[in-house]
Amino acid sequence: MTHTWQISTVDDAARARIAAARIAAAHGVSTVERTRLVTALSAQLRQCLVKGGSWLLTLRTAAPPKAQCPGRLTVTLDAEANGEGTRPSWRVSVGVPEPEHDEGGRVARVPRDRAAFADALLSADEDTSRVLDRLTEQEQLVAFHREELHQTNQGVLALHAELDAAGRVQRELFDAERTARTEAESARRRLTFLADASAALTASLNHEEILSRLPGLLVPDYARSVDIWLFADDDRSRERTPRPAAAVVAARTGRPQYAADHTGGLPGVDDQPPSALHPDQPLLCIPLPTRHTPLGVVTLTPPRDRWDADDAVMLVELARRAGIAIDHAQRFEHNRDIAETLQRALLTDLPATPGLSLAARYLPATHGLNIGGDWYDAFRQPDGGLVAVMGDVTGHGLHAAVMMSQLRTALRAYAVDGGTPGRLLTRLHVFLHHLQPDLYATAVIARFHPDETTVTWAAAGHPPPVLRTPDGDVRVLDAKPGAMLGIPLHQEIGDHTAQLPPGSTLALYTDGLVERRAQGIDPGIRRLAEALSAENAADLDHDLEGAADRILDPMLRDSQRDDDVCLLLCHIGDAGKPRIPEQTSP
């Protein structure tokens, strides 16, 4: 449907404006859209009136092509020809949700009565009033939401502040945890190093070896260089090496000293001026303590600028343990030297006897104190007989060597009065039990006599003798022995005899030769018997010393040498050809 109006006066423009508003309202156009349409039309009509002339306003409604699609309301404003040419038209279009039901066109007719006209004109502004009311409501709603948004923003800002504070606290906790983990790892590393270094230092009983190991443990992680000043070595040296003043103070006071051009701040360490010998280097001088006085001072230069306080505490503790290890090693070496001197002094010069050759070997253990209670002896009795002895005192060290010496001396004293091997062992058993109740010994005694073709022997807890006959047969003299010497038991040790024709060889030995921890003693005795049987009869008769070496060599190949080894070979030869044996001991 189309409506047209010719506009040349203000009344025409007012009527057209009123009609356009009514038609839009009749088509269900919303108040806001209707207000926009009327406002835009009013602005164009005002311009037309200002310009003058005659104008044609057309309102055209188009029905929707489909029921579900809205129609359109199109408003055009064209200028009529007035001698100046055709002016451009103005056009606006708006959607209409409802079809027009005013078939008579009453909506588009505006009354010409002035009162009705004025009422229609003023009522046309009701849409504007509604829009303004809606606008006021929207402004209030916007203000409400703005305040609500402001409050929300304040809450968000407060939440962000709390989150930031929580994040800061969390970062601080993470930093503290990382620091604690780092410190714990450093402490674990120091404790591990201290344990490993202590094990390395105490694994040796040679103080020179301990001193040589210490720099390798400290460089380069805890020191750039290590100098060890051992007072005993310095006393023996003709040319004394100059020492830093801080090292001298540490030696005199027994307290660690730190010498540098700045304070060290190390716990338990005294600060000193920089050393005149090393003015550009900080020095940490730590005494090597013992139970009484320091035995030396170790002087360190830092691996970096300076030491950490915890590292300094660890170094002081390591020096304390090193001092104790060196002191123990020196005491051990001193006792070992005494024991070796005593034991070597007691090694017997074997007697020369017509028809009897003797060869002895003594090898100290290579582990531990190296000195045990093993001994051998051979001496004559007043009646012309010769007594060969092999013994073993329990334990090692100086005490065992001293007890061995006392037993050896007591046995020789008892043998002067005569007596069989069993009787001698019985008296030695009583002597040891009363002399040292908590010390025990084993022994075997063999007695040879030039007028007899037998050997008399007795054993007390000792490995049995091994006898090789001239034809090469070997047998173990394993007749029932007595118990160990010194045990709290009354015993009478019996004698045993064995035939000993010329060319026979009797082997006496200690358990260090035949016993192996994983195998026991019996396999070792069988190996000794085989080695003795393998010897040539002529070699035994003419070279008993070489035979002793040849027997020892295969027996010691699988030995850990953790016990002393003694071997005494007694060979019966031609009675008219005395053999002068040689006693050897490496």
Distances (CA, A) of 430 to 32, 138, 456: 134, 125, 21
Nearest to residue 18, comparing CAs of 86, 109, 85?
Answer: 109
3-state secondary structure of 157: helix
The arithmetic mean of pLDDT across residues 152-179, rounded, is: 90
For the segment 355-401, what is each residue's pLDDT rounded down to a tens digit? 899 999 988 775 555 566 788 999 998 888 999 999 998 876 677 77
Peptide bond into 220 cis (omega under 30): yes
pLDDT-based confidence at residue 530 (cuts at 50, 70, 90): very high
What CA–CA distance (Å, rounded) separates 505 from 446? Answer: 12
Instruction: Specify whether the CB–CB gap between 578 and 352 falls below 8 A.
Output: yes
Distances (CA, A) of 583 to 344, 357, 361, 377: 11, 11, 7, 11
Phi-psi region of 418 (alpha: psi -120 to 50; beta: other; left: phi over 0): left
Instruction: Specify whether the CB–CB gap between 61 and 100 falls below 8 A.
Output: yes
Q: What is the pLDDT of residue 457?
A: 96
For the segment 140-153, what is each residue's pLDDT rounded down to a tens digit? 888 888 888 989 89
φ, ψ of residue 371 to 5 degrees: the values are -120, 125
What CA–CA distance (Å, rounded) separates 85 from 295? Answer: 128
Threshold 0.85, pTM exceeds? no
Is the pLDDT at 346 greater than 80? The verdict is no
The tokens describing 428, both together, are 């030695």
Is the pLDDT at 30 greater than 80? The verdict is yes
For the segment 217-232, what is each residue's pLDDT rounded down to a tens digit? 999 988 999 999 998 8
Instruction: Specify whether the CB–CB gap between 513 and 364 falls below 8 A.
Output: no
Is the pLDDT at 124 greater than 70? The verdict is no
- Range with the lowest mean pLDDT among 12-16, 291-295, 363-367? 363-367
Phi-psi region of 28 (alpha: psi -120 to 50; beta: other; left: phi over 0): left
The tokens describing 362, both together, are 């003594």
Q: What is the pLDDT of residue 238?
A: 46
What CA–CA distance (Å, rounded) separates 19 from 40? Answer: 14
Between these two residues, 515 and 390, which has the higher pLDDT value? 390
User: How confident is the prediction for the chain on average, in pLDDT?
Assistant: 84
Is the pLDDT at 72 greater than 70? The verdict is yes
**Sign of the CA dihedral with 100 first, then 101, 104, and 110 last:** negative
Q: Any idea of the CA torsion for 577, 582, 583, 586, to the nearest 10 degrees?
A: -150
Distances (CA, A) of 4 to 246, 325, 465: 120, 124, 152
Which of 528-549 are b and which e, b meaning 16 or more Cβ less than 10 Å from the residue's Cβ? bbebbeebeeeebbebbbebbe
pLDDT-based confidence at residue 458 (cuts at 50, 70, 90): very high
pLDDT-based confidence at residue 586 (cuts at 50, 70, 90): very low
State in Å, rounded, how far the first CA of the chain is from the last one: 140
Instruction: Specify whether the CB–CB gap between 508 and 570 falls below 8 A.
Output: yes
Domains of the chain: residue spans and CATH: 2-124 (no CATH), 204-340 (3.30.450.40), 347-584 (3.60.40.10)
pLDDT-based confidence at residue 87 (cuts at 50, 70, 90): low
For the segment 407-457, what is each residue's pLDDT rounded down to a tens digit? 888 999 999 888 899 999 999 999 988 887 778 999 999 999 988 889 999
Distances (CA, A) of 515 to 265, 370, 533: 59, 17, 19
Is the pLDDT at 526 greater than 80? The verdict is yes
- Name the strands in the sheet holding 71-79, side by side, starting at the edge strand that comes first in the sequence: 2-7, 55-62, 71-79, 90-96
Instruction: Specify whether the CB–CB gap between 326 and 205 falls below 8 A.
Output: no
- Range with the lowest mean pLDDT among 95-109, 522-536, 538-552? 95-109
What CA–CA distance (Å, rounded) separates 60 from 57? Answer: 10
